[in-house]
Chains A and B, each alone.
Chain A
Amino acid sequence: MNQPIDPLKLAGAKPKGKRPFFLQNQDTEKVLAVTMAVAQELAVMRERLDTVERLLEAKGVTQDDIENFTPTKAQAEQRGAWTQEYLARILRIYQQEIEGLEKPNEPSSEEIGHELAKDE
């Protein structure tokens, strides 16, 4: 029996090949990576909200309906699962750094390029 595929663990997997960093300070680049993932998710939310607003407008849903909404237990669990996925997505950079710790001497694309360019 195979282990079930866990997208939470595997979607953000590190590709083979040491990751290059570009900024003066690696910590800054990690923050940038988190920030851009959040920016992505904000755009996703903005697109969804735009869809919802346009649909609701036609159906007469009011602001009060939205303010007073309370999720059921099942709905709250669905929201919780969404948040788990969300965090795994935006914190990908740390997952990959941790996965990379297992291969401290992994060659880079540049190094492999030299190897692959050799005749013998």
Chain B
Amino acid sequence: MSIKNYDGPPDYRNVGIHGMSPATTHDEKARFNFLAHMNRHLASNILPGVKTAYETRVEPKNPKPNHRNQVRKALLEDPLFQHWSALRRNTMELRQQAGRWVTLRQAEDLNTKAEEMTKDDPRLILDSDLELPKYLSSIDHHCMPGSYHDELVPGDVTGAANYDVGIFVTTGGGLGRFSDGGGEAVVAWMKENRPDFAPKRILDIGGGLGQNVLPIAKAYPDAEVVCVDTGAPVLRYGLARAKSMGVENVTFLQANAEDLSMYPDGHFDWVQSTMFLHETSVKSMPRIMKESHRLLSPGGLVMHVEQPQYAPDMPLYEQAIRDWDAFYNNEPFWTKLHELDLDQWMIDAGFTRDELVHGGVAAVVDASLFPEHANDEVEDYGRKAAWHIIGGQKAA
């Protein structure tokens, strides 16, 4: 008997396997299935009720708020928002625990494999003296213990493997088989909007384990691609993962995107960040943007992909719900980033207003297996796999 009009997450067993994929048992796969369903359930069945609760019993008592923080604080008093929040936080913690269980129980195998696959490879450039920026050292983003950088033992990659093995859960497969729907979307945008663009050197900043830069590297196979991140575990894991997937033109560099002085002015034709800026800070972001502008060649493109900004026409309720991850899922800069005038920040970094580039993209996935968020009516605010582009193209 087949289920008609099934609209839940795909089975975890559809997730793509590469050479660094941790092994998962039947129960571990089932656990990820349950958690993907939990997130989907919270978004499609509970969150609409939170909106109703807001309209019927929160807003009448708190009329005419003038800022999203007032809405959020009023919501915090509502029992349904409380329970939705408690469940959403708890589901993220369960997801981290589930992924860590998978990767820690096979830590030695994973670490040995990464070591063997990256040993003496010039495409892994680590800097053990690199100081972590405050925006990373002060909190573990999205409740991921150890964040992108902690090593339980020298050469540890389990944190990166945990990120990779469980990202399916948060979007219910919305990022595609290899969690690269964002990168695929950027490639599709570029091919449609800049069909003749032929970058020789591409820089991905805050690229983590490189899941979103691999589609770019594959689409431009003659380009030299550099994936920069401050975390050694993600870079180590990322190179091994890329090689196992047959992508050979990416170098993984441990550095702070605020200072890439190892590269001369105009070195890159394309500087990309995908869901990175919201994990930085007001102090660091202008330095990152200026450095990106400096590194860009004439005619080159900078592209930052993020969730939509809190424009004046976005209802305060939606802004408050989008802020949830900032306050309750350890994404502290999220709220500030989304209220900034990013156009002005790009101009302050060196672009003219005429050089700015805007666009919108949705995750590109294998639609026979995975949900296409472009056509998905369920809105899990802040987590939907559809984003805005804020970019700049230097005059040639």
Contacts and interface: CB of A to CB of B under 8 A. Distances in A.
Interface string B15-39: 0000000000011001101110110
Contact of B138 (A13, A37, A107): A107
Interface in A1-33: 2, 5-7, 10-17, 19-24, 29, 32-33
A74 to B, nearest CB: 18
Contact-size category for B: 35 or more
Given A23-B83, A89-B97, A118-B283, A48 B27 contact: yes
Interface string B136-179: 00111001111100001110001000000000000000000000
Given A16-B147, A40-B34, A33 B135 contact: no
Nearest to B158: A5
A40 B94 contact: yes
B138 A115 contact: yes
Interface in A65-120: 85, 89, 92, 96, 107-110, 112-113, 115-119
Interface stretch (B224-232, B238-246, B331-339): B331-339
A109 B100 contact: no
B26 A17 contact: no
A5 B328 CA distance: 29
Interface stretch (B57-65, B101-109, B119-127, B313-321): B101-109
B134 interface: yes
A85 B28 CA distance: 12
A61 interface: no
B97 A116 contact: no
A56 interface: no
Contacts of B108: 5
B267 interface: no
A119 B282 contact: yes
B87 interface: yes
Contacts of A5: 104, 107-108, 152-153, 158
B294 interface: no
> Which secondary structure dominates chain A's binding surface?
helix
B283 A119 contact: yes
Contacts of B143: 15, 17
Contact of A36 (B76, B87, B140, B281): B87
A109 B83 contact: no
A22 B76 contact: yes
Interface string B303-316: 00000000000000
B51 interface: no
B100 A21 contact: no
B91 interface: yes
A41 B34 CA distance: 9
13 contacts: A15-B96, A21-B86, A23-B82, A36-B90, A40-B35, A44-B31, A89-B101, A107-B138, A109-B327, A112-B138, A113-B326, A116-B332, A117-B336
